[in-house]
Amino acid sequence: MGNILPLTVRKPSKLGFKRVQKRRKRDPEGHGQMNLFQPRRDGAARILSLPSKVTPFESALGLDERGDREAAAAYKKAISIGDCVADAYCNLGIIESKAGKPEKAFDCFTKSLQEDSRHLESHYNLGNLYFDMENFRLARQHYEIAAEIEPDFPNIYFNLGLVLAVCEDLAPAIEVLNKYKNLTPNEEGRLADELLDSLYRSLSTRSHD
């Protein structure tokens, strides 16, 4: 492998972890569930009132978003009763990583993928951990899998572009960084501009060697 980022710019920082958020609810009628809008005898519609229940995973997520120290224990509780196990392991892995426990974070993300082999956030977050370890081959692998699962998630392409730049795969790095720019608003997209300029210059130099 070549030297890390033999370019004329300061090595940019990768974009950070992605927490699993509350899933969107599916169309109830399309999945055999009761329609909450029921007709009355006079032809008007009424809304059935159903009791709301926060699931253990949702409770843990709420604590996590508030930065509550009890979030880790709450995710473990969700896992123990089988509620959103892959998602809970993934978010617990982020907590472990931020606590300076990369081994435990790896274990959580791996267990998440054992539950769901196409878990977007766990592939992306594993890519970040491998990036920090400078294991760029495995970082690239997980970012590429994440991009197959969710091709419109821009952060994947920024971090993948960094990996490719580190490995001196200049043309592919330029391609994925431009994809990042196309998927992000102008202000965020500019994050890649300096690196792209340097990559274009390096590629031009190579072509004239």
Q: Could you read off the pLDDT of 81-139 as tens digits, one per residue?
A: 999 999 999 999 999 999 999 999 999 999 999 999 999 999 999 999 999 999 999 99
90-104 per-position pLDDT tens digit: 999 999 999 999 999
Euclidean distance between CA atoms 208 and 184, whole angstroms = 33
163, part of any domain: yes
Split into its structural domains, the chain has a count of: 2
pTM here is 0.79
109 shares a domain with 146? no
Residue 41 confidence class, pLDDT cut points 50, 70, 90:
low
162, part of any domain: yes
204 shares a domain with 173? yes
User: Which residues, at least 6 apart from 61, have a Cβ–Cβ distance to it below 8 Å?
Assistant: 19, 20, 21, 22, 71, 91
59, part of any domain: yes
Mean pLDDT of 199-206: 83
**CA gyration radius, the chain:** 22
pLDDT score, position 186: 79
Give the SS3 label for residue 46: strand
**Type of residue numbered 127:** G
62, part of any domain: yes
182 shares a domain with 147? yes
Euclidean distance between CA atoms 144 and 169, whole angstroms = 15
61, 21 contact by CB (below 8 A)? yes
167, part of any domain: yes
133, part of any domain: no
Euclidean distance between CA atoms 198 and 205, whole angstroms = 11
10, part of any domain: no
Residue environment code for 109-146, b if the CB has 16+ CB neighbours within 10 A, otherwise e: bebbbebeeebbbbbbbbbbbbbeeeebeebbbbbbbb
Euclidean distance between CA atoms 160 and 145, whole angstroms = 11
Mean pLDDT of 144-161: 96
37, part of any domain: no
Residue 187 confidence class, pLDDT cut points 50, 70, 90:
confident
178 shares a domain with 144? yes
CATH number for 193: 1.25.40.10
Q: Domain range holding 63?
A: 55-117
Residue 191 confidence class, pLDDT cut points 50, 70, 90:
confident
- Mean pLDDT across the chain, nearest whole number? 83
- pLDDT at residue 36 is higher than 70: no
Euclidean distance between CA atoms 22 and 88, whole angstroms = 11
146 shares a domain with 191? yes
